[in-house]
Chain A
Amino acid sequence: MLAAFAEAIRATTQPCTLLLLLPALVTAVMTGGRWAPFTAICIGAVLGGWLFIANVVALSDVQLQLSGLLVASAIAVVVAAPSVSWLACAATPVAHTATAGVIAFVATLWWRPCIGVELGSILTGARHGLGGQLPGMAAYVLGALVPVLTVVLVMRAIDPSPVAIRRAGWVAGGVGLVVAGALAIGRHDELVTTLTRWTTS
């Protein structure tokens, strides 16, 4: 499990992790670096990771677009909620936590992880018995989310003002809208290619 955790940390520097990492980072920043949304991100991503190794779900092109639309809408609502009175219910901590979990879960369905030694062993082992691989996959997913934990800790250490948190949320929300919007208009492959070239250039 520790090896899987470490392999995932190393994979965070690779483009293959970005489709999980970017939405998770965006969500963590938008929700002010609070612990409850971060925990929801971890739970959503682990559940999505288990679905991935169970090999029972792969999104079709239409489903990818719909999921992009869902996440883009969720991000827009979270960003706009403090300024729009009729969206006030979306600015509550409970709503933030639920949204964070859903976005992280959906992001794991977009994810195309690097299959190194440990994840390869998990995937190979999962074909013979899923149960034994669940802890390893959870460790892998949590390792991939270490940059999100780092951002949360930085935000808590800096303890920014509410205005600064809101501005950071706008920036993060903008990035999230670009990512989710690209998926919503059927540009998944182009997005992954762009992220790959951007991070390897």
Chain B
Amino acid sequence: MGRSRAFAVAGLVAVIAVAGAAFVLDGSDDPVEPAAAAEPAWASSVPVTTTVSAPELPDRGLHPELVDIDGWLQSDVTSLEELEGKVVAVQFWTFGCRNCKATLPHMAELYETYRDQGFEIVGIHAPEFSYEAEVANITEAATELGVTWPIVLDTNKRTFHSWQEGPTAHWPRIYLLDRNGQIRYDHIGEGRYAETDAAVQALLAEPG
């Protein structure tokens, strides 16, 4: 075997080992920190690295409008203004998005834990593909995925793009609105569950 080929084979073995380690260690690089108090059930099942107190919650201004939406599902309210007085988590998601789906158990825990304390979730469903735009598919997926909170249909993704700065918008993305409708917290992607939990607690503790 030539030197070049031996090097290639050794490199191949190393790459396979590294890739294998990446899959074996799946999740261990997901440092979900416990909330300072009232830790929900799911937080105890994930690796704990450090204690998280409430993150900084600067006032980022009044939330944008819902633009060109096609209606609401699972809801008696038809606008965010009707939810003023509550702490609201607005999550951009689509049911076919793997990372969005990964966040839903934690959203469900938040909903169950804080709903009675003046907390609400609004899931803005912005479909990536045409099959995700069918209302029947959304309803079926919501049932399967345990999404019991209000869903806004943003079929043309006008709200999806108008809320998110810059030319690229992302799923999943969560915004927390305080009781006055001001954006106070924002996170893109999975993770930071305990931080989000702590932020919800802090916002609920603020006077209305």
Contact A153-B129, Cβ < 8 Å, known A7-B29, A115-B190, A120-B188: no
On whether the beta carbons of A159 and B167 are closer than 8 Å, the reply is no
Q: Is the CB of B130 within 8 A of A193?
A: yes
- Nearest neighbor of B132 in chain A, beta-carbon distance: A193
B189 in the interface, Cβ–Cβ < 8 Å?
yes
Report B-chain residues with C-beta under 8 Å of the C-beta of A7: 22, 29
Bound CA–CA A118/B187 (angstroms): 12
B168 near A: Cβ within 8 Å?
yes
Q: How many A-B residue pairs have CB under 8 A?
A: 109
A81 to chain B, nearest CB (A): 25
Q: Does B18 contact A (CB under 8 A)?
A: yes
Cβ A123 vs Cβ B170 within 8 A: yes
Interface string of B12-53 (1 = CB under 8 A from A): 100110110111011001100000000000000000000000
Q: How far is the CA of A5 from the CA of B22 in the complex (A)?
A: 8
Partner of A124, one of B11, B29, B167, B188: B188
Establish whether residues B25 and A114, one from each chain, have CB atoms under 8 Å apart when the complex forms.
no
Contacts known (A55-B166, A154-B12); A117 close to B22, Cβ less than 8 A: no
Residues of chain B at interface, number, CB under 8 A: 41
What residues on B are CB-neighbors of A149 within 8 Å? Answer: 11, 15
Q: Are A146 and B165 touching (Cβ within 8 A)? A: no
Flag A114-135 by CB within 8 Å of B: 1 or 0 each: 1111111101100100000000
Residue B109 CB within 8 A of the other chain: no
Residues of B within 8 A of A6 (CB): 21-22, 25-26, 29
Measured between alpha carbons, how far is A14 from B100 in the docked complex, in Å? Answer: 14
B15 touches A150 (CB 8 A): yes
Question: Quick check: is B67 within 8 A (CB to CB) of the other chain?
Answer: no
Q: Please tell me the number of chain A residues within 8 Å of chain B, measured between CB atoms.
A: 39
With the chains together, A143 CA to B167 CA distance in Å? 25
- Alpha-carbon distance between A159 and B2 when the two chains are bound, in angstroms: 10
A115 to B101, CA, bound (A): 11
* CB within 8 Å for A157 and B22 given contacts A55-B165, A55-B168, A57-B167: no
CB distance from A63 to the nearest CB of B (A): 11
Choice from A2, A58, A121, A143 contacting B168 with Cβ under 8 Å: A58
From residue B144, how far is it (CB to closest CB) to chain A in Å? 15
Report the Cα distance A120→B12, complex, angstroms: 30
Pick the contact of B167: A10, A56, A193 (CB < 8 A). A56
B105 within 8 Å of A (CB atoms): no
| Cβ proximity bits B51-80 to A, threshold 8 Å, 1 near / 0 not | 000000000000000000000000000000
B139 neighbours in A (Cβ, 8 Å): none
B186 close to A (CB within 8 Å): yes
Bound complex: CA A52 to CA B131 (Å): 26
Is B180 part of the binding interface, using a Cβ–Cβ cutoff of 8 Å?
no
Option from B19, B129, B166 in Cβ contact (under 8 Å) with A193 = B129
Q: Is the CB of B191 within 8 A of A117?
A: yes
**Least distance between A198 CB and chain B CB atoms (Å):** 13
CB distance from A32 to the nearest CB of B (A): 13
Interface members, chain B 85-140 (any A CB < 8 Å): 96, 98-99, 102, 128-131
Q: Which chain A residues lie closer than 8 Å to B30 at the CB level?
A: 117
Instruction: Note all chain B residues with C-beta closer than 8 A to A9.
Output: 18-19, 22-23
In the assembled complex, 15 residue pairs joining A and B whose CB atoms fall closer than 8 Å, in A order, are A5-B22, A6-B26, A14-B98, A55-B167, A58-B166, A115-B170, A115-B171, A117-B191, A120-B187, A120-B190, A121-B192, A123-B170, A123-B189, A153-B15, A193-B129
Q: Which 3 A/B pairs are nearest by Cβ-Cβ distance?
A: A120-B189, A117-B191, A58-B167
Residues of B whose CB lies within 8 Å of any CB of A are 2, 4-5, 7-9, 11-12, 15-16, 18-19, 21-23, 25-26, 29-30, 96, 98-99, 102, 128-131, 165-168, 170-172, 186-192
